[in-house]
Amino acid sequence: MMSRLEEFEALTDTEDFFDFFDLEYDERLVYVKRFHIMKKYGEMISKGKEHKLESDEKLLDFYKFALISVYKNFENGYSPSAADVWSMFDKPSACGSCSTSSSCNDVEEVTNGTHACTSQPSLSFN
């Protein structure tokens, strides 16, 4: 049986993260802003991993709070600046499993020109 943290780490779709934490969300907002929401959420998750919290439960509480915080920013009208958007194109990620291009260290071709980062966990922030 998988732990709750392992269940979290197996999530891939934006909506799955909201459902995992039993959070309500506007489907239209998530559909339109999913990339930006998950990019910011991925950054928050990376920060959470840097801090050694005393339990998986505390880490999951942090992840839930981070998702609420990021979502509320977008719900309240946050829009990434043009500089933020263009910087994503300046350093494109070669894979779909990394939240930022700088986290791709071990990229390999997996099939027909599709690349994946082999050093990252199974989280996807697409």
CA gap 15, 11 in Å, rounded: 9
pTM > 0.75: yes or no: no
Domain that holds residue 51: 4-92
Is there a domain that residue 49 lies in? yes
Residue 70 has pLDDT above 50, yes or no: yes
Is there a domain that residue 117 lies in? no
Q: How many domains does the chain have?
A: 1
Most confident of 21-25, 29-33, 72-76, 86-90: 21-25
Is there a domain that residue 99 lies in? no
The model's pLDDT over 78-122, given as tens digits with 9 standing for 90+, comes to 665 544 544 444 444 444 444 444 444 454 544 444 444 444 444
**DSSP codes joined into one string, 66-93:** HHHHHHHHHHTT----HHHHHHHHHS--
